[in-house]
Structure 1
Amino acid sequence: MLQKTKNFIKKRPMISLFLLLILSLPVTLHILFWGLVSLKAPRYQGEIRSEKLSAKATVIRDANGIPHIVGEDAKSAYFALGFTMAQDRIFQMELQRRIGKGELTEIFGEKLIPSDQFLKSLLLKQTAEAYANQTKHIYPEAWEQLDWFLDGVNHFLETEALPIEYTILGIKPRPFDRVDAISFLFYMGFSFAEGIKSDSLYTIMESELAGRSASELFPRYDFEPNASILESQPGILKLASNVPKIQINSQNTRQNVHSEKEHPEQINSQSIQDVTNLKELVRFVGSLQIPMEPLEGSNSWLVAPSRSASGGAVLANDPHIALSNPGAWYEAHIEYPGYENYGYFLSIIPFPLIAHNQDKAWGLTMLEQDDVNLYMETIDNGKYKSGSTWKELSHYKDGIKQKDGSIIPFEVAITGHGPIITEHIKGYKGRPVSLYWSHHHLENPLLDVLYKMGKSKSFQELDSASSMIGAPGLNFSYADKDGNIAYYAVGRFPILKGGNPRKILEGSTGENDVIGYVPVKDNPKIINPKNGIIVTANNLVTNQRLPGLGKPEGNWQPPDRFQRLVGILETQEKWSLEELAAIQTDTVSSFAPEYLEIVFSSAKKPNSLGGKKVLEILKHWNFEHFPDSQGAAVYDVFFYLTLKELLIDEMGPEHFELYGELAEYWNAYRRFIRNPNSNYWDDLRTVGVIETREDIINRSLEETAKYLEKNVSASPSLWKWKYLYKIKHPHPLGVLPLIGGVFDIGPMPSAGGAEVVNNLKYKLMKEDWTATSGPSKRRVIDYGRFEESLTQLPIGNSGNLGSPFYGNTVEDYNHGIHRKILYSKSQVGEGKFRLEFQPK
């Protein structure tokens, strides 16, 4: 025993030292990590010299981190813009080009092979190469300016420290080129998930449902009154005489219809095996890992001088995109002789998608017209069937590079409709499915369009430039210093020979092919309406029939936001800048009053104390979604559980979850709750019992209490929105162990919810109450008080962890606080940092 004691005493110093090292390791790693981050912080002050510069440029960063760039010529201004964006967003730019070209596997490993295969199948890189390498461009200056911008980006790569993400991933970036930029620009025009999932799921459900109509699950706006852009603006009677009348030629107009008799060639008659394989397609699309989502929603409204307190035209706009770190938009002010714009940029493109100056302002929302279709193809021996003939498949080859440098061969076959997207899906054994996307079939000179928009001097010039867009469909909103306001739809409306049935089409007969497009001149427009207000929120563009098409089809978002905005804006004659900014953060559920009136008239006295509390809270709720609101938490859970009780027996968990990723579930729910006679109210799981709407509502009240007790608190006093709902800005490296949490911003409590004006949406059917998308910036430009115009960015301009502007605006965003846009020289002043660019 004595010897053992002596041995322990001898070893004890070694044990203590080891324990000390173990305990101090996290602190040491923390110091090393943040020390490395600080070494890689961007250099915002000093001087940059380059032989690529032809004149002087100055970058002044204001207190919010917004760069104000003044160049003595265009070349130096765009060089400075490229360098400046790279300081804040170079890793985001790295991801952007890899998404556009399908090159994620090289940095993230083999788990991203399916994503790269799908991205390459979209032919983004192929069409970008064809566009970028044209011998003659519409505006050659646009391409010169892109090159100057890329010179600035590449100068940063050559001379400055790269952010820590590059160190963690162990990658060294190559220089950026034109195709990098254009590939991603094209990607942002493709909202692939909605069309592919919606058409596939409709076809699957139509095959599997018994005693139910699949069309009830996919109603779009078939039953929605007062919800279209052209016909339903505030003060509709005043506006009616100003709505452009579209002349219809009955000989070339086909109304969209949805009866099976008029679509005998659709896939609903295919075998069970085909439908089973379609499930593999939707599973595949749902499982894709792409660290950046395209545009998906937005609000916008315009107020004429007659309706604004300042006497000037006002534009308010907040595009909705997936929340991310860094954010979607880079905010910058650029000026050189003959040009000035304060804009919101994709960080790999030198021209703003959204901008304003002292003369004009424009914003955008997604039009959501249906320009994506899926076709079941008949292929044999390298040929595809098209009507009575067989045609040769074409192919696009582009290998996938792995982390070790090896290349995985990749080839996509292409029919007349478009690329085959099922060829590389593991487990898919059905008929090949091709993707029709208008971008593949039309001229789509997006870079030239953005260049010309920035240079335009009037609405007519802006309209002319944007009319060249083939895809995506966009709603443009316009206001100017002369008091003009205007709305116009851009992008093309495809005309299908057999109409658009909202599901997968038979591709072999030729009867479902696109035979043309609505002429650009017939795209919907509103210019200076008499009522003085124009609202858009991704809702149905018009109830009128468009020439050759009929009533337009689209993945229209639910009308709740549009109807709420219309309801607010028609309540008073004049609106101030501050009032219009406050509307952007409105959280009232516009459907809730109607919905709850039905609930209260149907509800029996609940059996449990929890159920009684649910009903009591709902009866006293003011329909707002604020962090301390009990009603918001109870209502949203009740909304979800009623929908689940309504549909889970028909759809099953997998299809129900997928359905939650589509706008259609919300459109359908509005119809279901209003229709007590729908067969869907009967629960197929209860044999011999036929449930009614009242039965499902009462069951859901009880289930809501149980859900909140389990997932929030046993105490109803703690059933608050902030304890259920959060928002988060995820970084692509947020999944890393130990340090991943450093890169994510959030989760945090916030006001907002799904399909309210402050549209911070969560994945309802996955019971994930963390918002994944929302306003990607907010902005109100008032030409009566121009230098007091307002904006917000969700988390700030910089994505560099070492920057003082990293996450610097997140609290203001969460609390709905706008900041003044610093525009004039006197407003910007000396700024916080100053960087001079000089020729070498």
Structure 2
Amino acid sequence: MKTFKKILLLLAVVIVLLVIGTALFMNTLKPEYSGQKTMAGLSDEVTVFYDSFGIPHIYAESEEDAFQALGYVHAQDRLWQMELLRRVAKGGLSEVFGPDLVDTDKFFLSLGIDEHTKATLTNIDNGSPMAALCNAYLDGVNSFIENGPTPVEFYLTGLEKKPFTLEDVYNAVGYMAFTFAMGHKTDPLLTDLKNDLGEEYLNDLAIESDSSTVWIKNYKNVSSDSIATNITAAVTKALDKLPIPLFVGSNSWVLAPEKTKSGKVILANDPHIGFAQPSVWYEAHVSTPHYEKYGYHMAGVPFPLLGHDRNLAYGLTMFQNDDLNFYFEELNQADSTKYNTEEGWKELQVVEKTISVKDGDDVLFTYKKTRHGPILNGIADQITQERPVAMSWIYTRLENKVLDALYGITHAENLDEFQEALPNIHAPGLNVMYGDAEGNVAWWASAQLYQMPDSISSKFILNGVSGEEEPVRYLDFSENPSAINPPWNYVYSANNQPDSIAGMLYPGYYLPENRAKRIVELLDNKNDWDKESVSEMILDVTSSVNPRLVSELIKLLDISHLDQQQLVEVDKLSNWDGSYTLDSQSALLYHRSEYYVLKNTFEDEMGPERFKQFLSTHLMKRHIAWGAIMKVGKWWDNVLTQDVVETRNHIVLKSFADAWTSLVKDFGPDPNEWTWDKVHTLEHKHPIGQVASLRKYLNVGPFPVEGSREVINNMTFPYDSTGFYKVSTGPSTRRIIDFSDIENSISILPTGQSGNPLSEHYKDQAELYVRGEFRKMMMNQNEIETTSKSKLVFVPSEN
């Protein structure tokens, strides 16, 4: 008995020691926000003050030292995120996550981002200020890799830390550029529908620009039947498995002094990006005697994509221009190494890659390229048709100067210098928003635009053989849409259609007018905006479009088919103001009904797979309001029914009935229980959080959230058969820069500053974000030093 007790005691001691040891070990993996560290390459001491939310405020005597310290602190909070982002373009995700990511790696390798990066680096001026700051930043990142603790994800995946290079920076920017492109989802699908169903069906889709919607105003004072669907399916499959978020849309507006209470410029910006944990942006305030910027950084990118100082502020939204086209190619039947052009047969380029796969054998991957780009046949296993399709992407066709552009805009001191840097942005297409302390406001659509031949639509797969469907010319930057200090005293963008210049409309995949209409309504009717009222506007959850759409569709309901309870809810819906609060019943009934309108309209002709692809496009979003007012059209009839020709009235009545039935099934017969908070939820998912045992430690949420798709507080979700609207995309930050009180400008992140699950700043902003609250973006050095929670000092190494 005594022996048994001794064994139990020994086991208890061992368990306690293991727990203590594990706790001590885990504690060593946390970011270090205080103390002193030596770092090779510094010329002088650098001090980093951390505020109460873990934002670093970096003070140095030189920019190189500041950027080196930035690299270190960025890496200690976000190294895992940096690691994943640099792997996408070069096909390195399978090495982390296994065979499920092989198709995704194949797809991204075929885009040629990594090859384009290599070509760019052969021509880079390593002595330029841009390259010098990039290399200083990378020195800081690599110093952390060599000397800092290893993030827990590296232990969980068995991944080895490796140094970062300038190649990784360019590859990260290339990934961002591709996620902005919508043509990969839309062009093949439209081509397939055209071949399968005919032109008449396409005439009833909102494909081209609609002159009745809200456009951004300029101001210048000077086939084969099935291949397309398979390509779309392959791209969708590859993107769905990405463990990092996609860039999707955004809002921004800048108010001139005439529109504000203080007579000073106010800038608001909330880029819409896929939610994930960690969130996209890393905040950092960098200050030297000759440079200061409070910025938002992508993982592994030295220069902030969003930023401000005491002189100027800038933000970004997606332009949504068409910078990606598909071409049908013709291969030589007698010689598979050649393809046809208007000048005769030319040699195909063959690219060979090796994909390392975790817990599996290496995969040898070969793809072919024409003058247009990679041939997608064979990239995914389901594409087996003979007719080749190549993808032409502006990002890989032209010289890459995006980092030069970022260096230029971050170092500009006035509007003219800022504008000079913008022509270096060729892709992705961006709406660049600007405001400054001098009272200037501006918007530029920054991208390398091109003109296609007359009557050629780039929304379909083009003829790659004839030479007659190639771009006619590239436009000069001066021809891009823009507005500088317009007489209506504000600029804005909500990813909507820009107005024409010189009689030309720029093709793109613009989002519908919903957010733009609401922004313009609010801005036009008020001239005394301040920080508080702008912060209320950026949280606005009211649609100006949906109530109008409801009114149109309710007219079509035959009330003789409705019971008393349904009549009550229809009456509520008819009086709905379009607001998406947590307790709204009408919001839920509207979206259930709208989904079934889409399903009952399109799925019979498209089939389940193509309908699913259609739901993922901006085309679907544009079609909702436009199509609902179409009294007659090919899509209304259900081709699967033989005895009746359905009309819009039939579809609306059936869709309301289907929505009602589904709500009763999900929430019971009492409509008072059908509230928005039951279905509209947000969970920030970590790439490893899909493992059930790790979910509660790595994921953040879920939270019921206000807002919806295409309102200013754009909490977007995919439509699907579940009827539950799990938010996938939304404001990746909410920023309000007020030049009347620049040191008290405000912002918020969706979860927290740190991507390290062991950090206290991993999710300390999550509930503030859900509640619509903000925190200060501190810039006053005395305030920062006196309120700082911790201080980290870097000193030069003696070696």
Q: State the TM-score, normalizing by the size of structure 2.
A: 0.94
Give me the whole-angstrom Cα distance separating, in 2, the residues matched to 1:750 and 1:290: 24
Superposition pairs for residues 596-745 of structure 1, below 5 Å? Answer: 596-605=550-559, 606-608=561-563, 611-745=566-700
Instruction: Give, in angstroms, the shift of residue 444 of structure 1.
Output: 2.1
Change (3 A) 1:211 1:109: closer
SS in 1 for 2:225: helix
Query: Aligned runs of 1:195-206 on 2, under 5 Å?
Result: 195-206=183-194
CA distance, structure 1, for counterparts of residue 199 and residue 637 of structure 2: 11
SS at match of 2:487: coil
Q: Quick one: distance in 1 between partners of 2:781 and 2:544?
A: 42
Deviation at 1:552, TM superposition (A): 1.1
User: Which position in structure 2 is the counterpart of 1:346?
Assistant: 298
Instruction: Please report how far the alpha carbon of residue 211 of structure 1 lies from its aligned counterpart in structure 2 after TM superposition.
Output: 8.8
2:217 aligned with 1:278:
no
Give me the whole-angstrom Cα distance separating, in 1, the residues matched to 2:27 and 2:729. 30
Q: Which residue of 2 aligns with 1:293?
A: 245
For 1:208, give the aligned amino acid.
Answer: D
Question: Which whole-Å deviations, capped at 9, do the CAs of 1:175-207 have from their partners, x for residues lacking one?
Answer: 111111111111101137621120011011112
Residue 596 of structure 1: CA displacement?
Answer: 1.6
The residue identity in structure 1 corresponding to 2:296 is Y
Distance 1:193 1:68 in 2: 34
- Give the corresponding residue for 2:741: 785
Render the CA deviation track for 1:434-458: whole Å, top value 9, x for unaligned: 1111112212211111111111111
- Classify 1:192/1:387 alpha carbon distance in 2 versus 1 (closer, same or farther; 3 Å): farther
Structure 1 CA distance for aligned equivalents of residues 152 and 299 of structure 2: 18
C-alpha deviation, 1:33, in angstroms: 7.1
Give 1:210 deviation, angstroms: 6.0
How far 1:569 sits from its partner (Å)?
1.0
Shift of 1:226: 4.2
1:537 and 2:479 aligned: no
1:252 corresponding residue in structure 2: none
- Post-superposition Cα deviations, 1:779-800, rounded to whole Å, max 9, x if no partner, equal 1111122222111111111010
- Aligned residue for 1:423, secondary structure, equals coil
- 1:404 deviates by 5.9
Q: Are 2:172 and 2:301, in contact at CA under 8 Å, matched by a contact in 1?
A: no
- Whether the aligned pair in 1 keeps the contact of 2:353 and 2:365 (CA below 8 Å) is yes
Instruction: Report the 3-state secondary structure (helix = DSSP H, G, I; strand = E; otherwise coil) of the residue aligned with 2:512.
Output: coil
Identity of aligned residues (%): 32
Confirm or deny that 1:153 pairs with 2:149: no
Q: Supply the AA of the counterpart residue of 1:509.
A: S
Change beyond 3 A, Cα 1:319–1:325: same
| Cα distance in 1 between the residues matched to 2:197 and 2:688 | 42
Task: Give the deviation of 1:315 after TM superposition.
Answer: 0.8
Contact 2:98/2:359 (CA < 8 Å) preserved in 1? no
Q: 1:466 aligns with which of 412, 416, 422?
A: 422
Match of 2:774 among 814, 818, 824: 818
1:181 to 2:137 alignment? no
**Per the alignment, in what secondary structure is the counterpart of residue 795 of structure 2?**
strand
- Asked whether the equivalents of residues 216 and 668 of structure 1 are also in contact (C-alpha less than 8 Å), the reply is no
Q: 1:631 to 1:135 in 2, by over 3 A?
A: closer
Find the residue that maps to 1:101 and give its secondary structure. Answer: coil
The secondary structure found in structure 1 opposite 2:302 is coil
Aligned residue type for 1:712: F
Of the three residues 335, 345, 364, the one matched with 2:316 is: 364
1:307, distance to aligned residue in structure 2 (A): 0.8
Deviations 1:656-701 (A, max 9, x none): 1111110111211212111112232222233221222222222222
1:396 correspondence with 2:351: yes
Shift in Å, 1:832: 0.8
The residue identity in structure 2 corresponding to 1:790 is I
2:449 maps to amino acid:
F
- The 2-side partners of 1:63 and 1:723 are apart by 33
Amino acid at match of 2:280: A
Alpha-carbon offset, residue 388 of structure 1: 3.9
State the alpha-carbon separation in 2 of the partners of residues 180 and 379 from structure 1.
Answer: 35
* Amino acid paired to 1:667: R
1:7 paired residue number: none
What TM-score, normalized to structure 1? 0.89
Within 5 Å, which residues of 2 pair with 1:412-423?
Answer: 412-423=367-378
Counterparts in 2 of 1:220 and 1:742: CA distance versus 1, 3 Å: farther
Which residue in the other structure is 2:712 paired with? Answer: 757
1:576 has 2:494 as partner: no
1:254 matched residue in structure 2: none
Residue 503 of structure 1 pairs with residue 490 of structure 2: no
Q: Distance in 1 between matches of 2:480 and 2:261?
A: 32
Give the C-alpha shift of residue 613 in structure 1: 4.5
Q: Secondary structure at the match of 2:64?
A: helix
C-alpha contact 2:708 2:715 (8 A) present in aligned 1? yes
Give the Cα–Cα distance (whole angstroms) in 1 for the partners of residues 124 and 321 of structure 2: 32
Corresponding residue SS for 2:555: helix
Report the equivalent of 1:523: 480
Q: Aligned equivalents of 1:834 and 1:169: distance in 2?
A: 32
Q: 1:700 to 1:135 in 2, by over 3 A?
A: closer
Q: How does 1:433-512 map to 2 (within 5 A)?
A: 433-497=389-453, 499-512=456-469
Cα distance in 2 for partners of 1:515, 1:544 equals 17
- Quick one: distance in 1 between partners of 2:161 and 2:39? 20
Residue 258 (structure 2) pairs with residue 306 (structure 1): yes
Q: In the superposition, relative to structure 1, how do residues 792 and 28 fare at CA in structure 2: closer, same or farther (>3 Å)?
A: farther
Query: 1:376·1:508 contact (CA, 8 Å) conserved in 2?
Result: yes
Partner of residue 217, structure 2:
230
Secondary structure of 1:156's match? helix
> CA separation in 1, counterparts of 2:169 and 2:721?
34
Mean Cα deviation higher: 79-88 or 154-163: 154-163
Provide the alpha-carbon RMSD of the alignment: 2.4
What letter matches 1:165 in structure 2? E
Deviation of 1:135 (Å): 5.2
Question: 1:92 is matched with which residue?
Answer: 81
Q: 2:195 aligns with which of 207, 218, 221?
A: 207
Distance 1:69 1:674, change over 3 A: same
Deviations 1:522-559 (A, max 9, x none): 1112111111111211111113446xxx3211010111
User: Which residue in the other structure is 1:333 paired with?
Assistant: 285
Q: Report the residue type matching 2:760 in the other structure.
A: P
Deviations 1:384-443 (A, max 9, x none): 111141111123333212336964323332111112222322132222211111112212
428-437 vs 327-336, which moves further: 428-437
- Retained in 1: the 8 A contact 2:318–2:431? yes
User: How far apart, CA to CA, are the structure 2 residues paired with 1:408 and 1:648?
Assistant: 37
Equivalenced residue count is 781
**SS at 1:578's partner residue?**
helix
Q: Distance in 1 between matches of 2:762 and 2:180?
A: 31
CA drift of 1:243 comes to 4.8
Comparing 294-303 with 477-486, greater Cα deviation is found at 294-303
Unaligned runs of 5+ in 1: 1-9, 232-241, 246-269
Q: Distance in 2 between matches of 1:200 and 1:724?
A: 32
What's 2:38 paired with?
49
Aligned to 1:119: 108
Distance, in Å, in 2 between the alignment partners of 1:612 and 1:211 is: 40
Q: What secondary structure is seen at the aligned counterpart in 1 of 2:116?
A: helix
Q: Which residue of 1 aligns with 2:544?
A: 590
Maintained 8 Å contact 1:365/1:538: yes
Distance in structure 2 (CA, Å) of the matches to 1:814 and 1:827: 27
Which amino acid counterpart does residue 140 of structure 1 have in structure 2?
Answer: S
SS in 1 for 2:294: strand
Q: Is the 8 A contact 1:188 1:295 kept in 2?
A: yes
SS of 1:557's equivalent in the other structure is coil
CA contact (8 A) 1:420 1:432 kept: yes
Rounded to whole Å, the distance in 2 between the matches of 1:434 and 1:37 is 49
Q: Match of 1:739, SS?
A: helix
